[in-house]
Structure 1
């Protein structure tokens, strides 16, 4: 890219070198010409930069689905960047490249890329990039000097973070803080940071879905650390409600593993194993070695719970080999623990104990007290099963001591802080009450004197007092009515979408929370007349907003909601699922009527164009639908969440085949053991392999919008 000052200099040189018989331009003409050339070049440069950023976003989206493909495209993109490319574009490229190298298990290349990023940030003096580097340094300080020094380092960065306008920097800072709080067992503080990250993710200009999924995954892991598996499971449900494996398989794997751990703690071991195996399958297909190693580690752990020590040993050795290839010391230490317990379970106590002790030493040096406490408990069980009660007792005592330090002391501190706050508030209220009491006494003395003076006016005072009390009563009654109305509005908005008045996502999740008990009672009827879920998405809604404005977009959303109300049954639940997505939950539907309902929905929305003022807007929807239970598959294997993920993939299939249509799953053509692992993350592959029968419903014919 040529510098604009060079442009002006070229014009001036041409003027100075002109011969006497050459036409001379005035100074004003030269300035105008230089300005025009500068503006043309700037516009071209800006256009090229926007195109490059768009290409980088597309590569990142590809990397979400296939790390190898994203890495291949990004290496080629970096190679072809011109020498005068915008430095910020280079920083974005290096940042993404380091992460993809890491996920691909290429640790040395990832470090080299981080060093290149650091050098460029320092050369540019880019404050946000330098701030990100300083935030990352806190983990190195943690390993070398401990958590206290890491907190001090982050505290020094706080002012710079608050001054930064980058939402990404603020999210990274809070995420790092949450990690340190979690290590320090200040779980309430860690949770505050994650909840703030959820709010900040809504402000991101792009990749909001991925940010929310990652944050919910982190919250799930925090609850697991707090030994609250129910809340951890709920957090993974919130994460899966945001998106699916088809959009972000990397994050989906993390969530699946967290979900598996929560299910394992809840003694739902078969379900936990299926989550791990699903994560392993996707990790291998997407060539994500770190997630493969993590899935193998958890599968080994699950077989230890099942006391299948041979399989546990096999998976633990595989996990350790993968972690050693990645030079992942944490993964190696974790795999050693499982391998040690697997060997111990087979009677090889000395060999197993040596491996476990090596890992314990590593976790103690790394200040991972929660991991140490958990390992000590399992270690004591290994000795107990081997009849080595003295060694088992020593470990139990060490575990109890550490457990007290981790949990009870923190809880005592929290209670002390709350008690101190309560006492302070109590003292404050006592002082206020005393002051009011003194004021009342003074007023009483003064009133007594006045009564003596105005005794003759007592009747009038009583009358006025009665009127005053009556007015106060009426005002109080009115305020109570207003308060009751406000409470009703708050209650309504808690479960309703404010724009359309439909149920919202939260109300549906609450309904589904009570589903297992209802299905158990009505199991036989549930298979004869299953519930149906229809997920709809307005076609080209972004085009409507961009062309006619968001006000017209809101009119379209409300009109779609109205038309949908007119075609569903009274017992059906209609929701605005988010953005331009709607969800119809039709309980106890006859399977033969589901297709008819979908046809009515497509016609109701797409048959008649929408009108706003004098504007006529053609609107269609694309849908995916499925019954729950699906094709006699038990809900323990394919619950409503997985069914909804499949409906989402069916909707996406409709989008890729031209929109204004619906795809629904009728029945499985093979056993569910064979079909479900493929079906839950790649519907197109399941259809191609003839595993499932699919119904296509076409919408009304009309002039389509241009995307």
Structure 2
């Protein structure tokens, strides 16, 4: 019934404006404010072009009674509607009009709201530098309003969005953390912050963190979330399933999300879901479905690119060419008049040639009938040959796309190493191929004090260190070894068919090479060290069935954390178990340090003076 109330207030404004324009200014202003609030409430759930006439009436009334805040807000709402439907040209013009009025009014809150609306548009136009400039301006104004935490949370949220789009994920997390502290019990803001934090976690490969955040969103805010937030939640949930290697679940979630995009203008989300489906089907070796969704993704991306080319800021240049176009129209009208005279003159000539054309037409039809059969035979052979060629080309193209999909799915974009997806897809086959009575060493390597490098030199410098570190690992390992970027500054090294003594030499070689290597960061030489933990699989021949490779990997991780606690720049590896028959792997994982101290498990270390702390 809210739309009925909006129409009633809309009619009341018109009636009051015509009859009681000068009688009761206070009542008139109250009526305008009430009508605007009703209309704004209606716009929170959907964008409708049908409300534009009501918006313009309210804007005119607000302007008449000097209600500048309502006037600015109506301009922003109409600009948002136009932005939603792709009319970026008029939307940008109206945003700047609202900004000019807000500067004249001088109210900080309406100024910040206007800047945030412009930032939303600039992100759609992919003009991130402009968005960064406006959000810095909004931050300065919002910080001056010490008591308005909600407004500052909005600013933090948009700063996080900008950093997310620019790939500065750590900075985005920092802004989101500040926003959550300020949001307190504001459910809508907390919900939006949670969704963005989940998206950042996915970009960093932390799908477990993302799932935790999405679960919290589902429990607390899903029932009151709008369509866009529900779609973003569905997309993030599907992406986390894909990263976790749960490809069937990822397909189911993506299909559900894709249904929500039908008959909407959410093309970017639709493209992301199609790309996700292509990746998931490729992982399941269903290359036909993968190719189908890759093709749909390509079509959607093409439509988005076309929309961006047609609707971005370059359209504003049309207003400067308007006068020139009008001159061209005038010249064309004169040319059309001259051409009309020429047409009249030629009509007689055409009439005279009409009979001749009919005669030649009859002759042509007879010739065509004679040639038609021969041409049909030739065309049929040509078409068959072309079809065979197209089939061969499409087959080769499909193979290439499948190969590209697999590469994208299995490779870490920063270091060029394999990622978790590749590890989980190959580890079982590698273990099955391991000769009997031969060991496979699981080794986890972590860069010491990497956060300090990021904080001191910036995340770009941290990325350079990660790349150089990956190169060192490549140089220190064999071609048969599996090298994986495990997450953040952690790397996983799987060395098949290697003895435990050889493993000690290998990790010591890595430790020394990292310690000696001069990492160049911003023109400065930075010394880095690493800590390493490793464990063999199987621990003993008797425990091969009782202790899985996953548990061995956790034992290597426990060794890594013990190495960091003892000294850093060292390695600790599990050599053997004192009493295999009494060995409890779950207890050992929980009390690794205690088991080492008691001698129940035997470890080796590069740090001779290492003492296990209490």
TM range (shorter): 0.3 to 0.5
TM-score (normalizing by structure 1): 0.38
TM-score (normalizing by structure 2): 0.43
